[in-house]
Amino acid sequence: MNRPQRLGLLVIFVGVCVVALLTQRLLDARRLNARPAELYEVVRQTIEAVRESDFPRAYEQVSSGFQEKFNIEAFTDQVRHDFPDTREIERIEFGRVARHGRQALVQVYFFLPNGDIVPCLYVLIHEENAWKIDAAHTQKRWPSGRRLGGLRI
C-alpha cells in the first residue's frame, strides 16, 4: 500500500469516527430533551406510591446516587418525616420545569383540604435511560387563599 492510499484510508477512518461522535451526541441530546409531562409522570408515580405506603415502589423511582446514600428504611423514615401530609393531598399542580443536561428541576404544589399549599422542588436526574428523583425539597407551607402565578381560564 503506497502513502496516498494509507493517507486516504486514515482520512476515511477519522471521518467515520467524527460522524459516529456527532450521531451519538445528537441521540443523547434527543433522549435528554424530555417533555415536562414525562417528568411530571415520574413525580406523580412516586407520590402515588407513597400515598399507598408502597415505599419499595417509590424507592425504585429515586436515583442510584440517592440509593447509595439511603437504604430503603432510611428512605421510608425520611418520606414519613418530610412529607407527613401525603395522604391528605387533594390535588397536585405542576409548575415550571428547568432542564440542564442530565438534570431537571420541577416545581410541584400540593393542595391540602384546609386550603394550604405545600410547594416542593423536585430534582430529577437522567440515568439508565430514565428520569429518576434525586432530591425533593419541601418549602414553607402557604396559608389558604394564596394565589399561584399563571393564568386561570
Tens digits of residue pLDDT in 75-129: 999 888 877 677 788 899 999 999 988 999 999 999 999 989 999 999 999 998 8
Alpha-carbon separation of residue 60 from 42, 66, 139 (angstroms)? 11, 11, 24
Q: Which residues pair with 142 in a beta bridge?
A: 117
pTM above 0.85, yes or no: no
Quote the cell numbers at residue 150: 399563571
Domain boundaries, the chain: 1-33, 35-153
Kindly indicate whether the domain formed by 35-153 is annotated with CATH number 3.10.450.100: yes
